[in-house]
Structure 1
Amino acid sequence: MNLSLRKGVIAFCAFLPATLSAHWAQASDCHSNRISIRGDWGQAAFTVEVADDPRERAQGLMFREHMPTTHGMLFLFETPQQVGFWMKDTLIALDMIFIQPDGTVSRIHENAIPHDTTVIDGGPGVLAVLEVNGGLSARFGISEGSELQHPALDQALAAWPCDAPSAD
Structure 2
Amino acid sequence: MLRPSTRALRAGGLALAVLLAVPLAACSDEGKLVLHTDSGDHSFNVEVVDTDETRAQGLMYRQELADDAGMLFDFKEERNVSFWMRNTFIPLDMIFVGADGVVKNIHVNARPQDPTSIPSDGPVQFVLEIPGGQSKVIGLKAGDTMEHPRVSAKVK
What residue in structure 2 maps to residue 45 of structure 1? Answer: 43
Identical columns (%): 40
List aligned pairs for 1:56-67, cutoff 5 A. 56-67=54-65
Question: C-alpha displacement at 1:41, in angstroms?
Answer: 2.2
TM-score (norm 1): 0.74
Question: C-alpha displacement at 1:45, in angstroms?
Answer: 0.5
SS in 2 for 1:123: coil
Tell me how large the CA RMSD over aligned residues is.
1.5
TM-score (norm 2): 0.80
- Find 1:116's aligned residue among 100, 114, 120: 114
What residue in structure 1 maps to residue 33 of structure 2? Answer: 35
List aligned pairs for 1:71-82, cutoff 5 A. 71-82=69-80
Off by >2 Å, runs of 4+ in structure 1: none
Aligned AA (2:56)? A
**Contact 1:101–1:125, Cα closer than 8 Å, also in 2:** no
List aligned pairs for 1:7-156, cutoff 5 A. 31-155=29-153
CA distance in structure 1 between the aligned counterparts of 2:76 and 2:137, rounded to whole angstroms = 30
CA distance in structure 1 between the aligned counterparts of 2:55 and 2:86, rounded to whole angstroms = 14
**Contact 1:34–1:45, Cα closer than 8 Å, also in 2:** yes
Render the CA deviation track for 1:76-103: whole Å, top value 9, x for unaligned: 0121000000000000000000001110
Aligned AA (1:39)? T
For structure 2, list consecutive stretches of 5 or more residues without a partner in the other structure: 1-25
Question: C-alpha displacement at 1:119, in angstroms?
Answer: 0.2
